Structure 1
Amino acid sequence: MITLHWVYALAGAIFAAFALLGLRDRPVNAAFWGLLAVSMWAGDALGDMGNGLLVLGLVGLGASGRMRRGEGDVPPEVRQARADAHGNRLFVVALIIPATALIGTFAFKAVPDWFEAKQATLIALALGVLVAWLAGSLWLRARPGVALEQGRRLIDSVGWAAVLPQMLAALGAVFALSGVGDAVGGVVQQAIPQGSLFGAVVAYGLGMALFTIVMGNAFAAFPVMTAAIGVPILIRGFHGDPAIVCAIGMLAGFCGTLLTPMAANFNLVPAALLDLSDKHGVIRRQVGTALPLLGVNILLIYWLAF
């Protein structure tokens, strides 16, 4: 049976390839991606202490300031000529990935003896990457190593921010297990007017957005705010629909994602890749969308969940 471990093995192999390709000219980058490969391959075997030390190693390398951005090895005029020759058909290769993920999600669940049904989407996504890699190499007549070399260039441009969502989501789980949600809930309950449903909904929506702004990831804010307000007040206290409260609450958190540099992979990396003069330009453009959308999400919870 193909399980999630196969996906981790594939991801580890790709990060290991990035590390090997970077040994000669970007040793710090190589060490960073090498540690990530070890995490993918042997995370279960390392235990809590081993994984903790590995994360500290990643943080140390990322904070050292010695990770170098990827440099393009294809002249701009050559890239432009290739883009002109193929046009928008180049997007077909990229679209293979989500198409395979969508089809595989439904198809793999029909054969539970072959694929782990609970992880069908992630398995299909990994398969989509392999199919797109093969299709792109055959169509563009490029050796398979070209994709890895260009992938290394791109991942080096993104740098440590590539693993920020994973780390922040783990931080949210740590906060939830350590009782941060209960502590926050105690403070918030004192601030909400007694018996005020609307006040509780506003506190939950704003709390999701604000915690996301601080932590940079709605997945990190979700366990904290849901434990603090969502479950004890909105669901148990006011008998709200759990699906609506949690789903739209996550959307409220995503509004915070649009407003924070902590969500570096969304808001800072694009500015760097596009060479924008204002590194916070992406965030400034998103404010006009994020704030009204946050208000709408709060109202939707109030109208639909109770």
Structure 2
Amino acid sequence: MTTLITINRIYYLVGFIVMLLVGMTLKDKGNPKRYTTALFWFLFGSIFLFGDIMVDQLGKSLAYRLIGVMVILIALIAGTGMLSTGSYQTSTDEERKASSGRFGNWLFFPAVLIPVITVACTVLLKGVSVGGMFLLDQKQLTLAALCVACICALLAGWKLTGGTPLQAVRQSRRLVDSIGWAAILPQMLAMLGGVFVAAKTGNSVQQVVSMFVDPDNLFLVVAIYCVGMALFTMVMGNAFAAFPVMSAGIALPFLIVGHHANPAPLVAIGMYSGYCGTLMTPMAANYNIVPAALLELKDKYQVIKVQIPTALTLLTVNIFLMYFLAFR
């Protein structure tokens, strides 16, 4: 059966919006590095917009190599400081206070719509078809539902504020400029996780642990698993990417097979340990760097510094929870 809203069409929409940002950046003469900034976002948007075309015309092997070169160029532009923030017309404090007083808590309505509609579409539209056509991509149902929710929230925002679609795109550019390269870091880290899995890094972790640690020392293996999840998450910025590597290397061979651990509490606490690492790393940009940029904090690492004591305390508690709960 065909599908109305497919994941590929969502990618095309993302690429189209990014290209609008590229055009606005090129026209912004107040941006001192507008050409390299525009190139950065052009390369990023091209992957969404032209990825399928490159695969069809060039073949998977050549297309993937070309996209790899584009990713390297993106990293070089960001790493050499060739991104800059554009110039924007901002409202005064009086105008913001007046707007806040006029709309009140209704300003939060579009934001609340996103999770509500996403959950509703995911639950209610699974397997639903009209005229032999699925409404949402069944293989990527949650992402398709999220796209529908964002569009609905955008329409609600226009109705509420009386704004225009172009104004929404301008504000998108302002936010993207404020966040900078960190906006695409989650995708980069997801690819890194895939590379580690394909390289069978979990097997290497298992061999290293076997060389230096006594597998019969249960508490030590538990501590290494929990701390390893946190450290790997700090490197990769994503506990979901660290989980298959550390679980295949430590949890499965030593704790589940070797010590007959209950898998459910073991992996749940293991993931929680990974989230402790999320609190302590700039690699988790969407949690730690993006908020600092949006709040315009002087120290971009301030969020991480505040979270470290909590993260270390939770990690210690997780070690003991796993030791006492997963082996009963």
Q: Give the TM-score normalised by the residue count of structure 1.
A: 0.91
Q: Note closer, same or farther for the CA distance 1:150–1:200 as it changes in structure 2 (3 Å cut).
A: same
Q: Note closer, same or farther for the CA distance 1:114–1:298 as it changes in structure 2 (3 Å cut).
A: same
2: distance between equivalents of 1:230 and 1:76?
Answer: 55
> Please, which of 129, 132, 145 is the counterpart of residue 124 of structure 1?
145
One-letter amino acid of the structure 1 residue matched with residue 118 of structure 2:
A
> Please, which of 128, 131, 151 is the counterpart of residue 111 of structure 1?
128
Q: SS of 1:114's equivalent?
A: strand
Higher mean alpha-carbon deviation, 262-271 vs 33-42, is at: 262-271
> Please, which of 132, 137, 155 is the counterpart of residue 134 of structure 1?
155
For 1:166-206, what per-residue CA distance to the aligned partner results, in whole angstroms no more than 9, with x for missing partners? 11121122122223222222112333333233322211110
Q: Give the structure 2 partner of residue 62 of structure 1.
A: 78
Whether 1:37 aligns to 2:37 is: no
For 1:100-121, what per-residue CA distance to the aligned partner results, in whole angstroms no more than 9, with x for missing partners? 1111110121416332333211
Whether 1:75 aligns to 2:91 is: yes
For 1:145-169, what per-residue CA distance to the aligned partner results, in whole angstroms no more than 9, with x for missing partners? 1111101100111111111111112
**Does the aligned pair in 2 maintain the 1:69–1:158 contact within 8 Å?**
no
> Please, which of 69, 78, 89 is the counterpart of residue 106 of structure 2?
89
Q: Note closer, same or farther for the CA distance 1:200–1:48 as it changes in structure 2 (3 Å cut).
A: same
**Does the aligned pair in 1 maintain the 2:215–2:221 contact within 8 Å?**
no
Q: Give the structure 1 partner of residue 35 of structure 2.
A: 27
Q: Give the structure 1 partner of residue 115 of structure 2.
A: 98
1: distance between equivalents of 2:27 and 2:65?
Answer: 31
For 1:22-69, what per-residue CA distance to the aligned partner results, in whole angstroms no more than 9, with x for missing partners? 121233222222212111123343432012111012112212312112
2: distance between equivalents of 1:192 and 1:66?
Answer: 45
The percent identity for this pair of structures is 45
Structure 1: runs of 5+ lacking an equivalent = none
One-letter amino acid of the structure 1 residue matched with residue 116 of structure 2:
A
Q: Give the structure 1 partner of residue 253 of structure 2.
A: 232
> Please, which of 252, 256, 261 is the counterpart of residue 277 of structure 2?
256
Q: Give the structure 2 partner of residue 17 of structure 1.
A: 20
2: distance between equivalents of 1:127 and 1:160?
Answer: 26
Structure 2: runs of 5+ lacking an equivalent = 29-33, 56-62
1: distance between equivalents of 2:229 and 2:177?
Answer: 31
One-letter amino acid of the structure 2 residue matched with residue 28 of structure 1:
T
Q: Give the structure 1 partner of residue 58 of structure 2.
A: none
Higher mean alpha-carbon deviation, 150-159 vs 218-227, is at: 218-227
2: distance between equivalents of 1:299 and 1:5?
Answer: 45
1: distance between equivalents of 2:149 and 2:280?
Answer: 31
One-letter amino acid of the structure 2 residue matched with residue 67 of structure 1:
L
For 1:1-33, what per-residue CA distance to the aligned partner results, in whole angstroms no more than 9, with x for missing partners? 132222212222221221122121233222222
Q: Give the TM-score normalised by the residue count of structure 2.
A: 0.86
**Does the aligned pair in 1 maintain the 2:36–2:77 contact within 8 Å?**
yes
Q: Note closer, same or farther for the CA distance 1:180–1:148 as it changes in structure 2 (3 Å cut).
A: same
Shift of 1:305: 3.5
2: distance between equivalents of 1:43 and 1:243?
Answer: 39
Q: Give the structure 2 partner of residue 8 of structure 1.
A: 11
2: distance between equivalents of 1:174 and 1:251?
Answer: 23
Counting matched residue pairs gives 306
